Structure 1
Amino acid sequence: MPDGVQIQTDQVNEFAQDLRADADKGFASAADRGADLHAHGVVFGAHIDSAAVLAAKKRYARALENTDANLRTYKLAAGILADVAEQIARDFAHADMTSEAAQLHVQKLLSGAIADADRAIAEGAA
């Protein structure tokens, strides 16, 4: 096997399409369904005056908020990674992947995508 990065651009492109479908349909759909299901808030124990029930309701509400935020963040990060996978497939469809320049380009694209996803996640958490 030759040195360097071996990229099957068709498979990278297919991966990007699958990831984008997960982002656009899977994660987004799950977040929307969760928001619809819990739009009314946390209603269990509404007629029970108990500190333990109130604490459980607060924890449940936080868990719902965290789940929603995670699904939306996953959608964003998956979209960013799908973009870079598509870019790699386009850039290297006919490239000599044994060259150092090609390897550095792939590394730069991936590092940039990771930085973009990290930034988007940090902004979403703020």
Structure 2
Amino acid sequence: MAGGVQIDTDGVGDFGTGMQKEATDGFAEIAGRGADLHRQGVGFGARMTPSDIVTQAKVRYAEALAHSEANLRAYQTAAAVFAEVAEQIATQFAAVDVNSEQAQKQVQYLMSQAADAANRALSIDVPRGAV
């Protein structure tokens, strides 16, 4: 089809369902495991006499952990956004003529909204971690 959008609504729906499962189960499990591993904070250097170098390393390590965990949560949110829009596209376009200009504009609008929402989710501000 020249210049149009072709939508395999079954495939898009399956993608949305799979992405939603990953967002709720996969990312959540990984984020939970990471949080469990680092629940006690930064342990290295605990038996040493405190020094500026060790303290700085611990602060940087704590910040890296905080960023990693925040990124996982943000990716989980972004995955859920894209899963939702995929399911919307599959539902809305299962019985319509996707050759129409209106349908193409709706797909572009939904994808643009999803991209904006995902970008907001990925624009995280992580506070500095305490040691």
Q: TM-score, normalised by structure 2?
A: 0.88
For structure 2, the 5+ residue unaligned runs are 127-131
Q: Distance in 2 between matches of 1:44 and 1:116?
A: 38
How far does residue 2 in structure 1 lie from its aligned partner after superposition? 4.0
* Root mean square deviation of aligned Cα: 1.5
How does 1:1-126 map onto structure 2 within 5 Å?
1-48=1-48, 49-122=50-123, 124-125=124-125
The one-letter amino acid paired with 1:119 is R
Q: Distance in 2 between matches of 1:59 and 1:104?
A: 46
The one-letter amino acid paired with 1:26 is G
How far does residue 73 in structure 1 lie from its aligned partner after superposition? 0.4
The one-letter amino acid paired with 1:43 is G
The aligned counterpart of 2:129 is none
Q: Percent identity?
A: 50
Q: What SS class does the counterpart of residue 53 from structure 1 fall into?
A: helix
Q: TM-score, normalised by structure 1?
A: 0.91
Q: Is the helix fraction higher in 1 or 2?
A: 1
